Amino acid sequence: MNVPFYEKIWMWAAAVIITAFAVTVTVGYASSALQPPSHVETIDPTKVFTDPRFAQRGVTLTDHGATVVMVAMMFAYNPAEVHVPAGKPVTFRLTSIDVTHGFQIVGTNGNTMIIPGYVSQFTTTFAQPGEYLIVCNEYCGLSHHLMSAKLVVEAAP
């Protein structure tokens, strides 16, 4: 088969790009525990505060770690500060009552979108005790830049 020289260049270029994409996804999955969005659980965004899953917000300690329930809204998180244990898996359950927000725990791999109508859930473990800033990284309105919360990771007693 006679493939013209320039055609070969483009074929190899396309192969390299596809390989690079596949490597990026694999490395992200393996090194940073990246996972597909967990948007499988739905919720009525107008009834979040009376929904049993979000009526009580905050931290629940379990035998294995902790669960954090938080609600995002323009332009705050409720609750605005949570305390979780270090070295144990922490599951975050998040939803929005208005528009799409972000949820990034700066300096960690905790990062997800919060979309009204859905419950976003992810689990991560914080090795280092300390204070972490949670910021909204999806533009959600005029005071988007003020939307933040605090995560305190406490060392085991």
Among 5-13, 33-41, 122-130, 138-146, the segment contacting ligand CUA (CB under 6 A): 138-146
**Angstrom distance (rounded) from CA 66 to CA 56:** 14
Return the residue of 140, 149, 151, 153 that touches ligand CUA, per CB under 6 A. 140
CB of 99 to ligand CUA, least distance (A): 7
CB of 137 to ligand CUA, least distance (A): 7
Pick between residue 114 and residue 153 the one whose CB is nearest to ligand CUA: 114
Among 7-15, 59-67, 126-134, 140-148, the segment contacting ligand CUA (CB under 6 A): 140-148
Determine, following the binding rule CB under 6 A, whether residue 101 of this chain makes contact with ligand CUA: yes
Q: Are 38 and 121 within 8 A, CB to CB?
A: yes
3-class secondary structure, 121: strand
Q: Are 59 and 141 within 8 A, CB to CB?
A: no
Q: Are 58 and 67 within 8 A, CB to CB?
A: no
Q: Which residue has 């300390």 as its token pair?
A: 130
CB of 60 to ligand CUA, least distance (A): 24
Neighbours of 153 (CB within 10 A): 22
Which spans of this chain sit near ligand CUA (rule: CB under 6 A)? 75, 101, 136, 138-140, 144, 147
